[in-house]
């Protein structure tokens, strides 16, 4: 356990009984925002008087130590008292091509040990603003996709009922459907920013209505989306008909095909998207295969000529100021991710999502 003792007026951090830091304070206290009343990794902040969960710094605690939670945050059984929470949904039963996304949450968490406390470019300070923890994984049934969707929906109903914003580690894209069922039950029809190589609006695949190619069709069927506030970014690849996105456009979705994104910054696009979304509730769904497979090869249905990681950051950072009520990062398939770079990308994109949630402080 990571704890703190005072020795001759100086602070000393202790990990499992062994001192790991001697000095007046850690660098964070120089901002005047922390005191050293600490239990585990929850520090009391002088600026607000509230207690927030703060990951241990890799300056003093080895990244490879401890149980692998997202960003080395504490694990919590329920969402009670949290402003936001990371949740894993380890499933690939809805996958149509290469499997393996059931291992996505585990590998994303492992790679997230690299992520520090502050966003170096945007200067976001999520751990000084909102209380965050890792809720672990939804216990899905890998043999029954429909039952898994029910389990996911019921789990997220409990999470969002507390006012907590879920940040989901997928898992294949099927999971967006039951998550949005729970989110829309609380907030009403939501706007959607969907970043993906594929529209995921098929009606049926191999005779089944539920799979990773159908979630947003099912969401429209059930009235979960405010269709005038839906944008799909990065779509590309071969299709089953001459206009693969005709159905999306017919619902009122804005479709931004990847060719519209090549060789340019997406900052202007996101200014338009923010205007489209307005002040209503918004859900962000980010499929890792939206990125070019040169950057993110570890996914089940890769398509060439995709977005760059820089453009992915521009999209997420462009969501700052929106009323985000949930986010997901899906389709990381570790068996095809030999370097770990896809999971590393996924972990960083999830941290960026955390940084643009409502009420996050910026320096």
pLDDT at site 51: 83
Sheet holding 190-195, edge to edge: 132-137, 84-89, 165-170, 323-330, 281-287, 190-195, 225-235, 254-257
Average pLDDT over residues 70-90: 98
- In the chain, what are the domains? 70-362 (3.40.800.10)
Question: Given pLDDT bands bounded at 50, 70 and 90, which one contains residue 46?
Answer: very low
Tell me what percent of the residues of the chain surpass a pLDDT of 70.
Answer: 86
Average pLDDT over residues 74-80: 98
Among 28, 42, 40, which Cα is nearest to 81's?
Answer: 42
pLDDT at 26 over 50: no
* C-alpha to C-alpha distance for 176 and 284, rounded to whole angstroms: 10
Sheet holding 38-39, edge to edge: 38-39, 42-44, 51-53
pLDDT at 263 over 60: yes
290-320 pLDDT, tens digit per residue, is 999 999 999 999 999 999 999 999 999 999 9
Which tokens belong to 191?
């706007």
Backbone angles phi, psi at 73, to 5 degrees: -75, 160
pLDDT at 215 over 70: yes
Confirm whether pTM is higher than 0.75. Answer: yes
Strand 51-53 with 124-125, pairing: unpaired
3-state secondary structure of 165: strand
Among 285, 289, 358, which Cα is nearest to 315's?
Answer: 285
Strand partners, 294: none
Q: How many Å is the maximal CA-CA distance in the chain?
A: 75
Task: Answer yes or no: are the C-beta atoms of 21 and 62 closer than 8 Å.
Answer: no
Burial readout 150-188 (b: 16 or more C-beta within 10 A, e: otherwise) = ebbbebbeebbeeebbbbbbbbbbbbbbbbbbbbbebbe
DSSP for 21-43, written as a single string: EEES--GGGGGT---S-EETTEE
pLDDT at 357 over 60: yes
* C-alpha to C-alpha distance for 195 and 192, rounded to whole angstroms: 10
- To 10 degrees, the CA torsion angle through 292, 224, 184, 171? -30
- C-alpha of 204 from chain center: 27
* C-alpha to C-alpha distance for 304 and 289, rounded to whole angstroms: 9
Angle formed by the axes of helices 267-277 and 309-317, nearest 10°: 30
221-244 pLDDT, tens digit per residue, is 999 999 999 999 999 999 999 999
Task: Answer yes or no: are the C-beta atoms of 342 and 298 closer than 8 Å.
Answer: yes
pLDDT at site 3: 39
pLDDT at 41 over 90: no
Residue 23 Rama label (left phi>0; alpha psi -120 to 50; beta): left
pLDDT at site 72: 97
Q: Is the peptide bond before 171 cis (omega within 30 degrees of 0)?
A: yes
* C-alpha to C-alpha distance for 3 and 17, rounded to whole angstroms: 9
Highest mean pLDDT among 1-5, 37-41, 118-122: 118-122
């Amino acid at each position: 356990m990571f704890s703190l003792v005072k020795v001759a007026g100086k602070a000393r951090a202790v990990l499992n009984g062994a001192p790991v830091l001697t000095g007046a304070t850690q660098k964070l206290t120089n901002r005047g925002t922390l005191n050293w009343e600490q239990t585990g990794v929850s520090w009391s902040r002088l600026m607000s008087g509230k207690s927030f969960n703060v990951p241990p710094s890799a300056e003093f605690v080895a990244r490879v130590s401890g149980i692998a939670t997202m960003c080395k945050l504490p694990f919590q059984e329920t969402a009670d008292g949290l402003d936001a929470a990371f949740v894993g949904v380890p499933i690939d039963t809805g996958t149509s091509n290469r499997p393996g996304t059931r291992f996505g949450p585990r590998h994303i968490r492992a790679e997230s040990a690299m992520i520090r406390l502050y966003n170096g470019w945007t200067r976001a300070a999520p751990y000084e603003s909102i209380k965050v923890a890792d809720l672990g994984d939804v216990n899905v049934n890998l043999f029954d996709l429909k039952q898994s969707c029910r389990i996911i929906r019921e789990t997220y109903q409990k999470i969002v009922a507390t006012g907590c914003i879920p940040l989901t580690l997928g898992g294949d894209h099927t999971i967006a459907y039951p998550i949005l069922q729970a989110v829309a039950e609380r907030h009403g029809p939501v706007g959607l920013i969907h970043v993906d190589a594929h529209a995921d609006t098929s009606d049926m695949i191999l005779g089944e209505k539920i799979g990773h190619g159908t979630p947003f069709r099912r969401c429209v069927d059930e009235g979960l989306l405010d269709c005038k506030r839906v944008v799909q970014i990065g779509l590309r690849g071969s299709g089953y008909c001459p206009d693969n996105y005709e159905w999306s456009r017919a619902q009122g979705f804005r479709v931004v095909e990847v060719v519209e994104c090549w060789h340019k910054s997406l900052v202007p696009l996101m200014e338009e998207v923010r205007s489209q979304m307005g002040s209503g509730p918004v859900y962000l769904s980010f499929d890792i295969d939206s990125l070019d497979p040169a950057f993110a090869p570890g996914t089940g249905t890769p398509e060439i000529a995709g977005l760059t990681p820089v453009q992915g950051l521009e999209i997420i950072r462009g969501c700052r100021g929106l009323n985000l009520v949930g986010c997901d990062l899906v389709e990381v398939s570790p068996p095809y991710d030999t370097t770990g770079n896809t999971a590393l990308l996924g972990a960083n994109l999830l941290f960026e999502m955390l940084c643009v949630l409502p009420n996050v402080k910026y320096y």
